[in-house]
Amino acid sequence: MPLPPAQKSLLVSLSGPSSSGKTTLARLLRDLLPNTFILHEDDFYKPESLLPFRSGHRDWDCPEAIDLPALTNALTYIKSTGKFPPFINSKEDQNTLGACPASPSHINFAKAIIASSSLHSLLKHAKICILDGFLLYSQAEEFKPILELIDIKLFLLASEEKAVARRKARDGYVTLEGFWKDPEGYVEEVVWPNYVEQHGYLFVDGDVKRGRLDRKVLEREGILAMGGGHEDGHGHGDGEGFGEVLVWAVGEVVDRLEGVLGGEGGRRENEGE
């Protein structure tokens, strides 16, 4: 069925632990999918002086660090206009990501999925906004207005070892005040514990370290994730694993959008899945 007249864009959220490849994947999806742009949750950080402390560090990785009403306002604007909010000055795109980890063969495969779909015709009068953020699926009450606006929810995985190693390899982050570089111990004492606290409900027995996703919870929450957990080798943000995640994400987005926009029932239905 077509979108309601008041809705001019579809929101696709992309979340997961820090350094799981979210922003890299978001930029690839933007470049591959028609009529697509990105909104970064990181552009809604509060000023550093307002952030709480954890383990002696300013905590950039907790719900209190994000201006959630401003994010909700921006998403509402996007859904009603199909445009990037003119009141947002994005700093996230100033951060470096390094070389694209997806191989040409995976990128070509993703392009083929899109080319064989009906998205180009279905999106003549609508846009896709990819919401990229490390903390979108929290069960905190303040996140409900945001989750209600999202049409498709994707979740990436990464083991603690991989996420910590990749985060430590980063130069730092552009902020409202200038530039932030993680102090010693920040990832282990702040970033990962926050991730576990906010996302433990998505894993069997709340065991994030073991990494087995609770499929019943994902289905209940409407969250799509690849594989059974990070021990499958997916979602690590590098090498062939990342290429597989790209193809998976494109397939999910195309299938779900065709269903929402009134395509031919989505690829899975056509394939008898």
Active centre residues (catalytic): 42
235: phi > 0 → left, psi -120 to 50 → alpha, else beta; which? Answer: left
Of the candidates 8, 140, 177, the one whose C-alpha atom is nearest the C-alpha of residue 78 is 8
Which residues partner with 54 through β-bridges?
A: 57
Do residues 156 and 15 make contact, with C-beta atoms less than 8 angstroms apart?
yes
| DSSP structure class, residue 191 | I
158: left (phi over 0), alpha (psi -120 to 50) or beta: beta
How far is Cα of residue 254 from the mean position of the Cα atoms in its chain? 16
- Burial category of 103 from C-beta neighbours within 10 Å (exposed 0-12, middle 13-18, buried 19 and up): middle
User: Quick one: DSSP state of residue 184?
Assistant: T
Through-space distance between the first and last CA atoms of the chain, rounded to whole angstroms: 21
DSSP-based helix, strand, coil % in the chain, nearest 5 = 50, 15, 40
CA 223, 226, 232: angle at the middle one, nearest 5?
135
Query: What's 190's DSSP letter?
Result: I
Amino acid at 131: L
Beta strands 127-133 and 9-15: pairing type?
parallel
